[in-house]
């Protein structure tokens, strides 16, 4: 499908600010940077095809829904539903003001958090990524996951509870 220059500009403005979030979600779902790039490319192609039919609303939620569906279809084809990628940017380190001990503790904490997020069931993991990393509202997450807002709230509460329980051992050790 070829777009006119005006349509191409409109589409770029429409989703341009949401591509990082779309890639991040794809990466968390498919567990591989290259695969995430492929998923994002396929999702953008689908978004271009569906752009003319979009009737307004939240562009970010619309795009992330397409990315999510594309990623899960990709995984179904490859039978990898429960694998996740490492996420290197969960904790930002301030290397200039912290002692080596503080840096070590943060790195250990980030690694443990990454591992525990990876162990969450897919629906909890996805809700946590969308809420905490992409800073989406409950309503936006509900639109992406195609569930009621109450379900999103329940998934987030359960995911946080699981993480809190699993990470308590790390906290006690520090």
Domains in the chain: ranges and CATH = 5-78 (1.10.1740.10), 100-173 (1.10.10.10)
| pLDDT for 92 | 40
What is the per-residue pLDDT for 91?
39
pLDDT of residue 57: 77
Using CA atoms, how far apart are residues 36 and 17, in angstroms rounded to an integer?
A: 18
pLDDT score at 172? 60
Encoded tokens for 97: 């003001």
List all residues 6 or more positions away from 38 whose beta carbon is below 8 Å from its beta carbon: 74
Q: What is residue 154's predicted lDDT score, i.e. its pLDDT?
A: 92
Determine the distance from the C-alpha atom of residue 51 to the mean position of all C-alpha atoms in its chain, rounded to a whole number: 22
Q: What is the pLDDT along the chain (174 residues), one digit of tens a residue?
A: 566 777 778 778 777 788 888 999 998 888 888 999 999 999 988 888 887 777 777 888 888 999 999 998 898 887 644 444 443 433 343 434 445 555 555 565 677 777 888 888 888 988 988 888 888 899 999 999 899 999 999 999 998 888 888 877 655 655
Region of 31 (left: φ > 0; alpha: ψ -120 to 50; beta: rest) is left
What is the DSSP annotation of 107-135?
HHHHHHHHHHHHHS-HHHHHHHIIIIIS-
Q: Which long-range contacts (CB under 8 A, 24 or more apart) does 78-86 make?
A: 80/30, 80/31, 81/122, 82/122, 83/30, 83/31, 84/28, 84/29, 84/31, 84/117, 84/118, 84/125, 85/27, 85/28, 85/30, 85/31, 85/32, 85/33, 85/36, 86/114
């Amino acid at each position: 499908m070829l777009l006119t220059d005006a349509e191409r500009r409109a589409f770029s403005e429409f989703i341009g600010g949401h591509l990082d979030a779309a890639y991040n979600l794809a990466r968390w779902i498919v567990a591989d940077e290259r695969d995430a790039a492929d998923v994002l490319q396929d999702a953008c192609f689908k978004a271009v095809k569906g752009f003319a039919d979009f009737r307004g609303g939240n562009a970010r939620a619309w795009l992330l829904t397409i990315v999510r569906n594309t990623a899960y279809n990709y995984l179904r084809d490859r039978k990898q539903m429960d694998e996740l990628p490492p996420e290197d940017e969960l904790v930002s380190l301030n290397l200039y003001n912290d002692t080596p001990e503080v840096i070590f503790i943060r790195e250990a904490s980030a690694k443990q958090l990454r591992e525990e997020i990876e162990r969450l069931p897919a629906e909890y993991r996805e809700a946590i990524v969308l809420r905490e990393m992409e800073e989406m509202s409950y309503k936006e997450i509900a639109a992406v996951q195609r569930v009621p807002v109450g379900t999103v709230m329940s998934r987030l509460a359960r995911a946080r509870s699981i993480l809190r329980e699993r990470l308590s051992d790390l906290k006690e050790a520090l």
